[in-house]
Structure formats: structure tokens, C-alpha cells
Amino acid sequence: MILLSILRVGDEAYGVPIAREMETTGDRTVVLSAVYTALDRLEENGLVSSSMGDPTPERGGRAKRFFRVTPTGLKAVRQTRKALTQLWAGLAQLEGGRS
Amino acid sequence: MSARKPSPIAVLLLDRFVASEALRGDLIESGAERSTAWFWHQVLAALLAQAIWSFRTTPRLTTESVLVATAMLALIGFNAVVVANLLSQLFLLNDGAWILDSGRYAGWQIYATVPLFAIAVMSGRAIGALHREHRVWAILGCGLSASTAAFVNFYLFVPSVPLQPFIPNPAQQTAVALLFAGGLFMGISSRSACEPLPSL
């Protein structure tokens, strides 16, 4: 979900818009520190890369950290979509939008 | 929606304890558009995440740091309580009979801890601002503030202090003084280059 949110936000993907995207699409409150914990793990695994931006006054002079999905991350997203599509297919309980 | 300034205490906690500059900035940026409850929820979650991360990455160092800091604050707190008790005895010797009326608000001490901590942080910030370059004055200021706070605490919350055993409820009074000392150092370290009193 985080990888998809970064892709949807695009070049301006830092913590705030990523969390906002997750809140909007997931319809739930997101804890920013949990997002950063997940992003750090994704970076350790080479699925995202990050770079520090310039400090801005509205953040009290604190810099933004911009995230980008790496080619490995893109590959992982595609593989996950494929796996989910296969798992989804043929499940009678999920047909017709009823729970 | 107009931008709101986030709670300075929450920002202070973030700056002191959360290592990630980007996360701190994100929280402050988002806090300007969200409710106070949302902001505090996020700040507490960030502090918890930082504590877990510290214990996971450097368990021994973090445990030692917490124990040493607690022991140091408890020692300073106990010293402040001893000084406050001696002061109350001194007042009685010099016909300060008013000290016998102490403890008018006994039972309210627990509710006073929050304002006490806020006063400690503000006092620490003032000491840090006034004595940025002078460590000795900062140490003396800290000691004086902690002892005064312990004395006021005695006067307000402990009945007939001078007639009681040397230190009434020592653990409780030391815990209160420890809290004050912690707030004091948090305040002073937010404004000053002084290290928190390793030599005391």
C-alpha cells in the first residue's frame, strides 16, 4: 500500500502526502511514525530510495525526505498485483460486491 | 482552514526525543491543519516508536542511559527534598510558625504534577536563556529552582512539615522532585548548550 501511495503521489512523495494518500484511499487514520518505520524497512530491502530536501519555514526549518520507488520496488509491486489477482480469481464469496 | 501553531511542549518532546528530522517536520506540518488530539496522538506514537527503535538497535546503551538518567534525577530530587526539609526546620527555629500551617492542600498533590512539570520546563528554559554560556550559574539556578519547588511542594501538600519525621513520605516527595528535575533539564537543554549536571 505504501509503495502504491508513493507511485500515486509522484515526485513530491514525502511523509505528509504519502500518509494523506493512504488515508484517502484506505479510509482510515494513518500514524506517521508507523509509515516511516515501514518506509525505512522498504529502503533497507531496496524497494524505495530516499533523499533529503531543503528545510522549509512551515516545518520550522526541518527538511523533507522524498521517497521514490526503485526498479526492484516496481517489480515487487507488479508481482504482488499478479499474486493478488490470482488469489482473487474464482472466489465466489467476493463476486457481486457482497461481503 | 487557517494554520494552527502546534503545542510547544509537543514540539519540544519531538525535538528532544525523535531522531528523524523528516518525521518531526512532517508532524509539525500536518499538525498545523489537524486537531490537537490528532497531533498529540501522533507525537506519542512517534515517541513510542523511537523508544522501541532505540531498545532494538542499542538495547544495552539505551537501558544504561535510562537507568543512569533516572538515578541522576532521583539523586538530584532527593537532594532538593533534603534542602527543602532543612529550610522548613530553619524557618521554625527562626519563629516561622506559619510553616506549621503547611499541608492545606494535602490530597491534591497528584493533580499538581502536570502544572509542576510545566513550571519546571519553563524555569529550565529561562535558566537556559539567561545562562547559556555559564554552566556554574545554570547548575546553581537548577539547584535553587528544584529546592524552592520542593519547599513549596512541602508547604502546600504536606501537613505540619517540621513536626514530621525528617522527610515525610520520602519516596513520594523524591518522585515529585524527580519529575521537577526532569522538566527542568528538558527546559534547559532546549535553550542552552549546557550539559545536564554530570558533576552534581
pLDDT confidence bin for B191, thresholds 50/70/90: low
Are B49 and A52 an interchain contact pair (Cβ–Cβ within 8 Å)? no
The minimal CB distance from B29 to the residues A36, A59, A65 is found for A59
CB contact under 8 Å between A33 and B3, yes or no, is no
Residue of higher predicted confidence among B180 and B100: B180
B11 touches chain A (CB under 8 A): yes
Partner residue opposite B30 with nearest CB, options A16, A60, A64: A16
Question: For chain B, what percent of residues have pLDDT higher than 90?
Answer: 4
* More confident position, B94 or B148: B148
Q: How high is the pLDDT of residue B6?
A: 80
Q: Chain A: residue nearest B4 by CA?
A: A58
Residue, of B90 and B23, whose pLDDT is higher: B23
**Considering only alpha carbons, which residue of chain B is nearest residue A40?**
B20
| pLDDT score of B192 more than 50 | no
Residue B24 contacts A, CB cutoff 8 Å: yes
Tell me the chain B residues in contact with residue A56 when contact means C-beta distances shorter than 8 Å. 25
Q: Please answer whether residues A29 and A23 qualify as being in contact, where contact means their C-beta atoms are separated by less than 8 angstroms.
A: yes
This complex has an ipTM of: 0.82
Instruction: Summarize pLDDT for B169-185 with one digit per residue, the tens.
Output: 778 888 888 888 888 88
Across chain A, mean pLDDT equals: 87
| pLDDT per residue as tens digits for the range B115-171 | 888 888 888 888 877 766 777 777 788 888 888 888 888 888 887 776 666 677 778
| pLDDT tens, residue by residue, B64-84 | 888 888 888 888 888 888 888
Of the candidates A19, A29, A63, the beta carbon closest to that of B25 is on: A63
Per-residue three-class SS string for chain B: CCCCCCCHHHHHHHHHHCCCHHHHHHHHHHHCCCCHHHHHHHHHHHHHHHHHHHHHHCHHHHHHHHHHHHHHHHHHHHHHHHHHHHHHHHHHHCCCHHHHHCCCCCCCHHHHHHHHHHHHHHHHHHHHHHCCCCHHHHHHHHHHHHHHHHHHHHHHHCCCHHHCCCCCCHHHHHHHHHHHHHHHHHHHHHHCCCCCCCCC
Contact between chains at B26 and A15 (C-beta distance less than 8 A): yes
**What count of CB pairs under 8 Å joins A to B?**
64
B27 touches chain A (CB under 8 A): yes
Tell me, yes or no, if B25 comes closer than 8 A to chain A by beta carbon. yes
